Structure 1
Amino acid sequence: MEKIEHSFLNIRGLNLHVAHIGKGELGTLVFLHGFPEIWYSWRHQMVAVAEAGFRAIAPDFRGYGLSEQPPEPEKATWEDLVDDVLAILDSLPSPRCFRGREDFGAKPAYDLAVSHPDRVAGVITLGVAFVPKPFSRDSLPEGFYIFRWGKPGRAEADFGRFDVKTVVRTIYILFSRSEIPIAGEGQEIMDLADSTTPLPEWFSDEDLEAYASLYEKSGLRFPLQIPYRSFHKWVYKSDPKVEVPALVVMGEKDYYLKFPGVEDYIRSGIVKSFVPDLEIIYMPEGSHFVQEQFPDQVNQHIIKFLKSHI
């Protein structure tokens, strides 16, 4: 961790925090986080790829962690994230890079691959494959966490009962399980775990402190906007294709596989209709946070992919 350096870049009028390590003799890998993640989520991968000869860069998205808040978070769009990443790439000596992403970070990573293939050498995603259009969630109940957090005021009231550290702790516990977080009648999402529920064994108190300090700095206003209150603003191209090489590492105990239609889409190979040069690796015990749960194994898969496509 002490080897990782930190800088601030003025990107489209905002000071964005970027963690970075490595000289990049073999190329550059840009890591994009999801929620409740942050640049810190990639700490294991950043050190490993740097030692393998690559440069690793992990920004905090606008409104997250140490990056500056946009003046009107509720007006933010997914295109803002894509444009931010493009501007970060413009600031690098090497304009064409690999992309590594987790959770909703897949959206801007794949958008770049589809719209700007000349800027992307390959895409590595953890837990989420490319989708040409959103899956239907009509079969999921009202207590589904994305429905709950998508309603203005609902998550604020739920989260507001606790300090930030407790909120992050609870979400990490819930998202580490194999079941989709769904609240019952009279419940809120934060009620699905309590103070007696242990953290996953691979997530230390030190890790929790690191996450909590970053979210105490940024707050949760922007993370609720992107992704949870902006899904309806996703823009999908007609007949999209990801032409660059891609790797998906799937934890087989990732609750995301239980979203309607997701597992069949991936396991049936339909996904390869849109990402022809795709390798899929399944990790039997892997959760939603597979890169933190099994860092050594994930690092080996990432480095092997990178070295086979340089």
Structure 2
Amino acid sequence: MTDIHHRTLDSNGIRIHIAEQGKGPLVLLCHGFPEGWYSWRHQLKALAEAGFHAVAPDMRGYGETDRPEAVESYTLLHLVGDMVGLLDALGEKQAVIVGHDWGAPVAWNAAIMRPDLFRAVAGLSVPLLPRPSVRPTSLMARMDEFIWYILYFQSLGIAESELERDVRASIYTIFGSGFGEDQPSDRIGMVDSTRGLLHGMSKPMNLPSWLSEQDLDHFTKQFTNTGFTGALNWYRNIDRNWELLAPFANANITVPSLYIYGDRDVVGRFPGMDKTIAGLSNRALDLRGKLCLKDCGHWTQQEQPAEVSTALINFLKDL
């Protein structure tokens, strides 16, 4: 089996770095925050060995991919467009698209907008979300000095200053705490606006078993080189996405789909998420499965790589 190969391709007006392995039908793997292509390191190998061409890009704003300066260059239309452009750059007519965390909305929306190109979709952690009737930020919680974490991310420079003060400690805490999965129910997703994101997250004495020092070194080097602005700009387009995607309001997914989530995932404790997950088949019309991974937190494909890889391969081979 060949090793992971790296190259940079032109797509949608930017240069996108990809890691790829294997030959066969194309599978695009879209990462979330704060990650990179490396979060799919286990699946690249497993999918390649199963007969697929697995491609994990550094998404727009991350790693060795371009980081446009304008905040408004990070909408879901740009992000889906990047994936459409990758198909052209790779010389492919179709792909299965898989996304985790922020990569999941990219994957879900890619399947909605271009079912001719994306023949199937799998989302990890974040389900297909309904479009609210008003701007999303207007619905986000504020409670005394605490605000919803996405609101904390809105102001340019504030979250960057906190996260970049000690990049290794920031990554250690975010991954090690499960993105705050042990917070009490009334504080889930909430940030002390004066003390910052990391204040409410418990930093474990040791790295979780799924994250080695070498893995932590990789992410630390990546975000030391790039900073966090490009990654945070995804959050700064929450309301802009709401406006731009109005033509696709509550559109259904018609291609085969799969949803994978962990039973300890903090996302599952967000308000209304249980109902969204339960009703997923109402919009994903060919939902082939909802897999709940036992004793798994938010970092799904890194925490339980074998289980995720097996589920993806079974889904792919059944298409």
- TM-score > 0.5, shorter chain as reference: yes
Partners of 2:81 and 2:128 in 1: CA distance = 19
Match of 2:240 among 233, 255, 275: 233
Match of 1:166 among 162, 166, 169: 169
Aligned length: 303
Aligned: 1:299 with 2:312: no
Match of 1:192 among 200, 206, 211: 200
Partners of 2:176 and 2:147 in 1: CA distance = 17
Match of 1:154 among 151, 154, 158: 158
Aligned: 1:132 with 2:130: yes
Partners of 2:213 and 2:11 in 1: CA distance = 33
Q: Deviations over 1:103-140 (max 9, x none)?
A: 11122212211111110111111111112315785456
Question: Which stretch has the larger CA shift, 167-176 or 245-254?
Answer: 167-176
- Gap change, CA 1:292 and 1:196, over 3 Å in 2: closer
Q: Give the conservation status (yes or no) of the 8 Å contact 1:113–1:120.
A: yes
Match of 1:94 among 92, 98, 113: 92
SS of the residue aligned with 1:84?
helix
Q: Give the conservation status (yes or no) of the 8 Å contact 1:30–1:99.
A: yes
So what's the TM-score if we normalise by structure 2? 0.88
Give the aligned CA root-mean-square deviation in angstroms: 2.2
Q: Give the aligned partner of residue 273 of structure 1.
A: 282
Q: Give the aligned partner of residue 23 of structure 2.
A: 23
Amino acid at match of 1:201: S
Q: Give the aligned partner of residue 62 of structure 2.
A: 64
Q: Give the aligned partner of residue 145 of structure 1.
A: 149
So what's the TM-score if we normalise by structure 1? 0.90
Q: Give the aligned partner of residue 12 of structure 1.
A: 12
Match of 2:212 among 204, 207, 210: 204
Match of 2:76 among 75, 78, 101: 78
Partners of 1:87 and 1:109 in 2: CA distance = 14
- Gap change, CA 1:98 and 1:163, over 3 Å in 2: same
- Tell me by how many angstroms 1:4 deviates: 0.4
Q: Give the aligned partner of residue 122 of structure 1.
A: 120
Q: Give the conservation status (yes or no) of the 8 Å contact 1:30–1:97.
A: yes
Q: Deviations over 1:158-193 (max 9, x none)?
A: 224x22222222221233553434334753212234
- Tell me by how many angstroms 1:239 deviates: 4.2
Q: Deviations over 1:202-239 (max 9, x none)?
A: 1111110011111122211111111x211111124134
- Tell me by how many angstroms 1:196 deviates: 5.9
- Equivalences for residues 237-276 of structure 1 within 5 A: 237-267=248-278, 270-276=279-285
Q: Give the conservation status (yes or no) of the 8 Å contact 1:174–1:181.
A: no
Amino acid at match of 1:263: D
SS of the residue aligned with 1:280?
strand
Which has more strand, going by share of residues? 2
Amino acid at match of 2:176: I
Q: Give the conservation status (yes or no) of the 8 Å contact 1:253–1:288.
A: yes
- Gap change, CA 1:214 and 1:184, over 3 Å in 2: closer
SS of the residue aligned with 2:97?
strand
Amino acid at match of 1:9: L
- Tell me by how many angstroms 1:289 deviates: 0.7
Question: Which stretch has the larger CA shift, 291-300 or 175-184?
Answer: 175-184
Gaps of 5+ in 2: none
